Amino acid sequence: MGDYLLNALVTLAVTIDPIGLAPIFVALTRGMTDLQRRQTAIRATITAMLVLLAFALVGEKLITFLGISIPAFRIAGGLLLFRIAFEMVFERRDKRKQASADRAIEETSFDQDDVRHLAIFPLAIPLISGPGAISATILIASGAPDTLSLLGLLVIVALLILSCLLVFMAAGPLDRALGDTGRIVLTRLLGVLLAALSVQFVADGIVAIAKTAFPGAL
């Protein structure tokens, strides 16, 4: 159980990347009042938490209903996470996130409706609970050895989303403290770690399919 929860914590922490969201949040909320910024942060994190918790609880049943096997989803999810890791290592992920932020800023004048819309898109989806985080959540939940481990995963998801909220509240000072060099180093290190984890997901999926196709061979 300990190894399972540690793997869940590392994978989701790298995929969600709370610290990496700080400069994006600063850019998105530039021009907002402090109250609007807090409302945006709270609404975005609550929405993202509900999305990830829902996929943790019913994601496996959903893909099974669609006729997708867990090993096949492990391979697909691992490839998706590897793509994110590649972008992190070669500094492409931040550019893609910033492009989403720029599009939102161009269309936003920061009235109350805009605050609500901005919190849902692009903050909650896809910046916090994007395809990578959703895939990782389903993969990890499907591998839970028992109910207690699954509950531990739900707690980890909640804590990571709470960390996003704390980062958003302190986004300005945190972004200045890290600086460009700090963000680049941190992002690349986390990218390498996520790449290794994603390869493990793919390898586990291939082994599971091979065992099904060739019973007794492995």
pLDDT digits (tens, 9 = 90+) for 140-178: 999 999 999 999 999 999 999 999 999 999 987 876 777
CA distance 19 to 39: 19
Give me the pLDDT at residue 193, please: 82
Q: How many CB atoms lie within 10 A of CB 64?
A: 13
Q: How many residues does the chain have?
A: 218
For residues 1 and 152, is the Cβ–Cβ distance under 8 A? yes
Give me the pLDDT at residue 216, please: 66
CA distance 157 to 45: 11
Residue 195's nearest CA partner among 113, 56, 84, 98 is 84
Q: Which two tokens stand for residue 113?
A: 């409706």
Give me the pLDDT at residue 101, please: 53
pLDDT digits (tens, 9 = 90+) for 81-112: 888 888 878 876 555 555 555 555 555 445 55
For residues 149 and 4, is the Cβ–Cβ distance under 8 A? yes
pLDDT digits (tens, 9 = 90+) for 32-47: 788 888 999 999 999 9
